[in-house]
Amino acid sequence: MGNLYVKPYLDSSVFLGWVKNPPEVVNGINRQDVGRHVISLAENGKYDIYTSTFTLAEVHKLRAGPVTDNEQNDLLLKYFEHSFIQLIEVDRLIGEHANRLCRQFNIYPPDAVHMACAIRAGCDVLLAWDGRFSKASYSGLRIEEPDILGQQPLPLPSEELLEP
pLDDT score recorded for residue 1: 47
- How far apart CA 45 and CA 26 sit, in angstroms, is 29
CATH class of the domain comprising 8-150: alpha beta
Whether this model's pTM surpasses 0.75: yes
Closest CA to 58 of 17, 106, 116, 92: 17
Sequential DSSP letters for 113-142: HHHHHHHHHT-SEEE-S-GGGGG--BTTBE
Give the residue ranges of the chain where pLDDT is below 70. 1-3, 61-68, 150-164
Domains of the chain, by residue range, sit at 8-150
pLDDT in tens, 96-137: 999 999 999 999 999 999 999 999 999 999 999 887 777 788
Compute the Cα dihedral for 131, 96, 83, 6 and give only its sign: positive
pLDDT given at position 162: 38
